[in-house]
Amino acid sequence: MVTWAIVVFALAAVAGLTMAIGVFKGRTPSVGVAVIHGAFAATGLVLLLLAVFNQGAGNAARWALYLFLIAAVGGFTLALGYHARKRPLPTGLVAGHALLAVAAFLILVVGVLGLL
């Protein structure tokens, strides 16, 4: 299940990177890409939650889950507080959301590979 979470989070990252590049170029992300990003990220979270609490995934997966949950709060803030209200997305929040998610992803991958 952790492997599937990694795959789904990687797909979410591709959509997220696409949006982040646009934001830093001054463009507003499309609703479609934002929905795809959110759907993949939410699916990844559910898979990771199941792996951590039902299958006893290791500490790296647990720490990755915590960081992904914090990143999700930032994602909800971006989506509902800014994007849905057609307000410009704050680049600091976009960067913080992305950095947390990337850190969580790397911790998860390194943990699965047995390097942690």
Q: According to the model, what pLDDT value does residue 55 have?
A: 82
Q: According to the model, what pLDDT value does residue 58 have?
A: 87
Instruction: State yes or no: pLDDT of 57 exceeds 90.
Output: no
Alpha-carbon Rg for the chain in angstroms: 14
Q: According to the model, what pLDDT value does residue 83 have?
A: 95
Burial (CB count <10 Å: 0-12, 13-18, 19+), residue 88:
exposed
Q: What is the pLDDT of residues 86-106, one digit of tens each?
A: 999 999 999 999 999 999 999
Q: What is the pLDDT of residues 11-53, one digit of tens each?
A: 999 999 999 999 999 999 999 999 999 999 999 999 999 999 9
d(CA 36, CA 26): 21
Going by C-alpha positions, the residue among 43, 32, 33, 40 that lies closest to residue 12 is 40
d(CA 18, CA 11): 11
**Does the domain formed by 2-112 have CATH 3.40.50?**
no
